[in-house]
């Protein structure tokens, strides 16, 4: 035995030494080291042609004209579309992350009925049954402000005998209520920010979150000789780059605007409407500079100086935001000045029986919705309108999970904007009627479908697919669909606005500042990188959210040092804000760009459903907003919200 063992050891030693004189060991080591490049969790690159395909993105409220970068047909990035006037090569922070959202783990992957995955056929059966049972008690809430999908949805409502079509609250709705409702105007109001020589942004955070932000930024950059001024309760990012910030409380914006109108009227400006005399008397009597100063705190001489600037400008424009009265007052002032405010014609309808855009903006969702069957399209009322919406059965169309899809009975995954046909008709604020269209630029990655095509299958609305609807839309306006899907915009120049009335009676009452009973005023503000009412922040955006909005998982509210002293708080204090029917927690930051007596809080945080970038980050300010019914107009508004602040 010992002989065999020794021989074996010698043989083994020889073999071991011998193998070292061959490439085997070294090659094996080399290959194993290379193998470590191939761990299964390392993503694989896709190889193929790289393209930039034009389409439209609907993640922000106004929508962006974009080019989606693809490799071998798969989207990997988004950039602006320089051929489209809505973009000019720019893109908003939400739409810039379109691909990340498309590939998000929170993407809804298949139709879900009460939490159980079902087929699209089954989903159609369920919705058909619910529609039959609901009769005319059916409603739609759309988160899309600019799409022809709304024609399809409103046509379905008309087919069922309902007119309960709602959009999420916003300036577009307030502007329409003021312009077509109060003042008898036609078309959609627009503002030529590039052509104006003086722009007074009366609360409109135009370079950050108001209107077509990207187009606004391009206009601001192109308008080198124009002067921009910002009025509002907080020195927003927009205000930080304008020539001047005029602190004006949000609820006092209409009175402030009429205070300027006082001087303009005094200078002899007129408008050819039947009630001009009544309007003039109302302004001269009720909104004299002294009265406005007493109500808003804005010095009379400041309003006089602004009026002088506006009167000496050759093409001035006042851009309002906020409640209906603020819009009405600004429109009246613009009509007096005869400047760069425009009225945009509406593009022809594709679906007969559909509502016009103005008709779609009439119903007031803040008054509350209570219906048997509710469709929600890419909107998040469960987050932004807490306790305002009630329905026997809710069908939520969306591409990613939200608070609304989490509480809906039936969830139907929509195609991501890059996977579907969609369009973008005149986002509110543009100076010219502008129409853009997008075709799919990549294949669907989940079992999703086009919401409008699904709805077309529920009733005979004259079309089978949404692509056909868009073809009819292009034909109705005389545009070429191929050019549109190729990224070009169809543009019709904005017209000189004409109003039937200056709504003197209504405006006189509605413009009076009304404030809540809380300790301090609440100024909610929107930053697109933080999110909107319908869309939470996107995967790449959190790193751009500053410590003035979010610190760790805590929301940050800003206030001036005098307000902080009044409330007994300082930088970093943890506070509870109580208002409306809810409460929010936040940390305090001192910023002297917030008016005294006011707390500024960012909207868009505090999601309870979503991805790791939004869920549980900060608190939801929509909970503490107070819905007020505006005097005389009857419109609901969040302006004048106040809160009590307690240190915790």
Pick from 210, 192, 510: nearest CA to 338: 192
> Measured from the CB of residue 34, what is the shortest distance to other proteins in angstroms?
4
Pick between residue 69 and residue 554 the one whose CB is nearest to other proteins.
Answer: 69
Reading the block at residue 306, the tokens are 């602004």
Binding mask 56-95 for other proteins (x = CB under 8 A): ----------------x-----------------------
> Measured from the CB of residue 28, what is the shortest distance to other proteins in angstroms?
7
Pick between residue 12 and residue 277 the one whose CB is nearest to other proteins.
Answer: 12
C-alpha span between 229 and 419 (Å, rounded): 40
Residues 382-441 interacting with other proteins (rule: CB under 8 A): none
Q: Where are the alpha helices (DSSP H) in 376-428?
A: 381-384, 403-407
Q: Name the DSSP class of 178.
A: I
Pick between residue 12 and residue 161 the one whose CB is nearest to other proteins.
Answer: 12
Q: Which stretch binds other proteins (CB under 8 A): 8-16, 54-62, 388-396, 555-563?
A: 8-16
> Measured from the CB of residue 440, what is the shortest distance to other proteins in angstroms?
14
The partner residues of 442 in beta bridges, in order of sequence, read: none
> Which residues are CB-contacts of 560 (< 8 A; sequence separation ≥ 6)?
590, 591, 592, 593, 594, 595, 596, 598
> Which residues are CB-contacts of 225 (< 8 A; sequence separation ≥ 6)?
197
Alpha carbon 620 to its chain centroid, in Å, reads 16
C-alpha span between 61 and 165 (Å, rounded): 17
Rounded to whole angstroms, what are the CA distances from 364 to 324, 330, 388?
12, 21, 11
Q: Which stretch binds other proteins (CB under 8 A): 2-10, 60-68, 181-189, 451-459?
A: 2-10
Q: Which stretch binds other proteins (CB under 8 A): 22-30, 81-89, 271-279, 500-508?
A: 22-30
Backbone angles phi, psi at 591, to 5 degrees: -145, 115
Q: Name the DSSP class of 269.
A: -
Pick between residue 31 and residue 224 the one whose CB is nearest to other proteins.
Answer: 31
> Measured from the CB of residue 42, what is the shortest distance to other proteins in angstroms?
8
C-alpha span between 157 and 338 (Å, rounded): 39
> Measured from the CB of residue 47, what is the shortest distance to other proteins in angstroms?
7
Pick from 626, 638, 630, 363: nearest CA to 507: 630
Pick between residue 15 and residue 221 the one whose CB is nearest to other proteins.
Answer: 15
Pick from 520, 533, 511, 515: nearest CA to 628: 515
> Measured from the CB of residue 110, what is the shortest distance to other proteins in angstroms?
21
Pick between residue 6 and residue 574 the one whose CB is nearest to other proteins.
Answer: 6
Q: Name the DSSP class of 355.
A: P
Pick between residue 44 and residue 496 the one whose CB is nearest to other proteins.
Answer: 44
C-alpha span between 329 and 258 (Å, rounded): 6
Is residue 486 part of the contact set for other proteins (CB under 8 A)? Answer: no
Pick between residue 11 and residue 133 the one whose CB is nearest to other proteins.
Answer: 11
C-alpha span between 132 and 134 (Å, rounded): 6
Q: Which stretch binds other proteins (CB under 8 A): 15-23, 107-115, 270-278, 575-583?
A: 15-23
Asked if 427 and 489 count as a contact pair (C-beta separation under 8 A), the reply is no
Pick between residue 73 and residue 478 the one whose CB is nearest to other proteins.
Answer: 73
> Measured from the CB of residue 81, what is the shortest distance to other proteins in angstroms?
18
Pick between residue 30 and residue 493 the one whose CB is nearest to other proteins.
Answer: 30
How does strand 198-202 pair with strand 341-344? unpaired
Number of residues that bind other proteins (CB under 8 A): 36
Q: Which stretch binds other proteins (CB under 8 A): 20-28, 400-408, 503-511, 588-596?
A: 20-28
Among 11, 222, 274, 571, binds other proteins (CB under 8 A): 11
Reading the block at residue 282, the tokens are 């109302």
> Measured from the CB of residue 602, what is the shortest distance to other proteins in angstroms?
38
Pick between residue 20 and residue 274 the one whose CB is nearest to other proteins.
Answer: 20
> Measured from the CB of residue 29, what is the shortest distance to other proteins in angstroms?
10
Q: Which stretch binds other proteins (CB under 8 A): 10-18, 410-418, 480-488, 612-620?
A: 10-18
Q: Where are the alpha helices (DSSP H) in 60-184?
A: 98-102, 120-134, 149-159, 171-176
Pick between residue 28 and residue 133 the one whose CB is nearest to other proteins.
Answer: 28
Rounded to whole angstroms, what are the CA distances from 54 to 51, 144, 452, 479?
10, 20, 21, 17
Residues 278-297 interacting with other proteins (rule: CB under 8 A): none
Residue with tokens 């319908």: 534
> Measured from the CB of residue 46, what is the shortest distance to other proteins in angstroms?
10
Backbone angles phi, psi at 83, to 5 degrees: -80, -10
> Measured from the CB of residue 54, what is the shortest distance to other proteins in angstroms?
16
C-alpha span between 79 and 116 (Å, rounded): 37
Residues 23-62 interacting with other proteins (rule: CB under 8 A): 23-24, 27-28, 31-32, 34-35, 37-38, 42, 44-45, 47-50
Structure-derived torsion over alpha carbons of residues 70, 74, 75, 81, reported in degrees to the nearest 10: 40
> Measured from the CB of residue 465, what is the shortest distance to other proteins in angstroms?
16
> Measured from the CB of residue 5, what is the shortest distance to other proteins in angstroms?
10
Asked if 601 and 584 count as a contact pair (C-beta separation under 8 A), the reply is yes
**Can you give the binding site for other proteins, defined by CB under 8 A?**
2-4, 6-8, 10-19, 21-24, 27-28, 31-32, 34-35, 37-38, 42, 44-45, 47-50, 72
């Amino acid at each position: 035995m010992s002989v065999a063992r020794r021989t074996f050891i010698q043989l083994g030693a020889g073999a071991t030494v011998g193998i070292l004189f061959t490439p085997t060991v070294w090659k094996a080591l080399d290959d194993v080291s290379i193998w470590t490049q191939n761990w299964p969790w390392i993503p694989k690159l896709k190889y193929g042609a790289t393209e930039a395909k034009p389409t439209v993105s609907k993640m922000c409220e106004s929508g962006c004209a974009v080019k989606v970068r693809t490799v071998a047909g798969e989207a990997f990035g988004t950039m602006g579309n320089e051929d489209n006037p809505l973009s000019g090569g720019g893109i908003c922070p939400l739409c810039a992350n379109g691909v990340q959202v498309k590939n998000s783990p929170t993407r809804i992957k298949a139709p879900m009925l009460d939490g159980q995955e079902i087929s699209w056929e089954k989903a159609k059966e369920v919705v058909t049954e619910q529609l039959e049972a609901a009769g005319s008690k059916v409603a739609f809430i759309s988160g899309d402000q600019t799409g022809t999908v709304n024609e399809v949805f409103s046509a379905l409502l008309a087919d069922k005998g309902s007119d309960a079509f709602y959009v999420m609250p916003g300036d577009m709705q307030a502007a329409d209520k003021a312009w077509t409702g109060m003042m008898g105007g036609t078309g959609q109001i627009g503002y030529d920010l590039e052509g104006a020589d003086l722009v007074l942004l009366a609360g409109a955070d135009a370079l950050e979150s108001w209107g077509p932000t990207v187009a606004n930024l391009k206009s601001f950059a192109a308008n080198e000789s124009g002067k921009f001024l910002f009025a509002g309760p907080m020195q927003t990012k927009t205000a930080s780059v304008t020539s001047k910030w005029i602190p004006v409380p949000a609820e006092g914006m209409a009175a402030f605007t009429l205070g300027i109108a006082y001087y303009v009227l005094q200078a002899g400006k007129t408008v050819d409407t039947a009630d001009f005399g009544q309007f003039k008397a109302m302004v001269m009597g009720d909104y004299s500079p002294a009265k406005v100063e007493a109500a808003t705190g804005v010095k009379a001489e400041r309003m006089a100086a602004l009026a002088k600037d506006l009167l000496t400008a050759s093409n001035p424009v006042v851009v309002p935001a906020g409640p209906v009265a603020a819009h009405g007052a600004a429109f009246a002032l613009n009509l007096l000045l005869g400047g760069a405010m425009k009225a945009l014609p509406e593009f022809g309808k594709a679906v007969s029986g559909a509502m016009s855009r103005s008709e779609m903006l009439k119903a007031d969702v803040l008054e509350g919705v209570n219906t048997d069957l509710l469709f929600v399209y890419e909107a998040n009322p469960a987050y932004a309108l807490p306790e305002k919406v009630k329905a026997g059965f809710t069908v939520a169309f969306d591409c990613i999970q939200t608070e609304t899809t989490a509480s809906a009975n039936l969830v139907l995954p929509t195609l991501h904007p890059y996977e579907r046909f969609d369009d973008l008709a005149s986002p509110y604020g543009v100076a010219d009627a502008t129409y853009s269209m997008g075709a799919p630029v990549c294949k669907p990655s989940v079992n999703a479908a086009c919401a409008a095509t699904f709805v077309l299958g529920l009733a005979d609305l004259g079309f089978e697919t949404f692509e056909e609807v868009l073809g009819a839309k292009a034909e109705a306006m005389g545009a070429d669909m191929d050019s549109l899907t190729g990224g070009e915009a169809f543009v019709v120049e904005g017209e000189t606005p004409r109003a039937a009335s200056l709504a003197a009676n209504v405006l006189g009452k509605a413009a009076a500042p009304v404030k809540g009973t809380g300790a301090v005023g609440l100024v909610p503000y929107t930053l697109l990188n933080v999110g909107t009412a319908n869309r939470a922040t996107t995967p790449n955006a959190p790193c751009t959210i500053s410590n003035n909005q979010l610190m760790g998982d805590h929301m940050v509210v800003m206030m001036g040092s005098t307000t902080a002293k009044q409330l007994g708080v300082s930088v970093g204090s943890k506070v509870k804000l109580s208002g409306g029917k809810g409460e929010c927690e936040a940390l305090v930051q001192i910023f002297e760009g917030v008016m005294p007596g006011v707390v500024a809080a960012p909207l868009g945080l505090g999601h309870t459903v979503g991805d790791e970038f939004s869920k549980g980050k900060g608190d939801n300010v929509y909970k503490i907003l107070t819905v007020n019914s505006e005097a005389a107009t009857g419109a609901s508004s969040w302006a004048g919200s106040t809160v009590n602040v307690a240190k915790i």
